[in-house]
């Protein structure tokens, strides 16, 4: 734990400051490769926190895509962000968290205020705009986080952003892609239920306590799996789309946790 703190102070912070400067220039000039520096930042954080990411399948490319995923920990953000160029949808509080909020803002995260029911419409519209421009967006569709053994029911409200995007005349196709993240091993050994609670963000846990636990538990092997993209039609039922994606994510999570194979179609 001590060396991680030293590395963070001596190496990570100076590099992050340089990344912020470079990313600010990229965003100001509206350059296309805006995701290069955020991915670099996420890789740096993963190294510092001992996150080893294993990727199965691949995200849809050159297609307007909404990635719908389970959610376990704030570690999901750097783990996923280190391997794919995407934007997130997150609750507004995340933007105020140390480190996590910084990474989220670098990734052009779309923040939603859950205290305002009217904010859902704004967020869905912004998600639709991002996807209609060909940029993938990640939605943690459970609306909360879980310990990593189960997939909670998905909320359908923001999944409707796919139809919102298709209202644009230049968008002829839209996809939803199931994605799952799972923490499988600590220091090379299968993770136990007790150890999962030291990684997962559960209930009203304070971020300081959670960061302390994460720094103490060593190397974390993390699997990110991408399922087959599902084509969406303008008149598809939003709740049925959401339910279908939820079932696919649950199937993938069970397969990873039990180390059982999925049919080849699920591997991208």
Overall residue count recorded for the chain in this entry: 268
Which residues of the chain form beta strands (DSSP E)?
A: 51-56, 65-69, 87-91, 110-112, 137-140, 174-186, 189-190, 220-226, 230-232
Tens of pLDDT, residue by residue over 176-197, are 999 999 999 999 999 988 888 8
Indicate the SS3 state at residue 41. helix
Tens of pLDDT, residue by residue over 193-229, are 888 888 887 766 666 667 777 878 889 999 999 999 9
What is the number of other CB atoms lying within 10 angstroms of the CB of residue 121?
13
Tens of pLDDT, residue by residue over 77-106, are 899 999 988 888 888 887 787 777 777 777
What number does CATH give the domain 50-267? 3.40.1130
Tens of pLDDT, residue by residue over 13-46, are 888 889 888 988 887 888 877 788 888 988 998 9
Claim: this prediction has a pTM higher than 0.75: yes
Tens of pLDDT, residue by residue over 233-248, are 878 888 898 999 999 9
State how far the Cα of 255 lies from the Cα of 88, in Å rounded to an integer.
25
pLDDT of residue 267: 42
Domain ranges of the chain: 50-267
């Amino acid at each position: 734990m001590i060396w991680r703190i030293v590395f963070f102070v001596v190496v990570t912070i100076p590099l992050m400051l340089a990344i912020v400067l470079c990313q600010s220039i990229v965003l100001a000039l509206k350059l296309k490769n805006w995701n290069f520096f955020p991915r670099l930042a996420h890789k740096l954080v993963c190294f510092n926190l001992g996150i080893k990411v294993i990727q199965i399948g691949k995200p849809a490319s050159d297609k307007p895509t909404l990635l719908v995923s389970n959610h376990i920990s704030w570690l999901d953000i750097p783990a996923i962000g280190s391997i794919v160029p995407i934007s997130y949808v997150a609750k507004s509080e995340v933007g105020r968290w140390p480190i996590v909020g910084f990474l989220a803002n670098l990734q052009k995260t779309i923040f939603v205020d859950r205290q305002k029911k009217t904010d859902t419409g704004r967020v869905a519209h912004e998600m639709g705009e991002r996807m209609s421009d060909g940029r993938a967006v990640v939605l943690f569709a459970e609306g909360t986080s879980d310990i990593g053994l189960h997939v909670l029911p998905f909320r359908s409200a923001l999944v409707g952003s796919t139809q919102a995007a298709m209202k644009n005349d230049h968008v002829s196709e839209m996809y939803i892609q199931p994605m799952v993240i799972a923490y499988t091993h600590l220091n090379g050994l299968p993770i136990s239920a007790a150890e999962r609670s030291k990684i997962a963000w559960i209930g009203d846990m304070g971020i300081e306590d959670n960061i302390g636990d994460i720094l103490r538990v060593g190397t974390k092997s993390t699997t990110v799996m991408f399922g087959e993209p599902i084509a969406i039609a303008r008149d598809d039922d939003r709740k049925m789309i959401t339910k279908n994606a939820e079932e696919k994510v649950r199937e993938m999570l069970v397969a990873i946790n039990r180390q059982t194979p999925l049919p080849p179609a699920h591997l991208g």
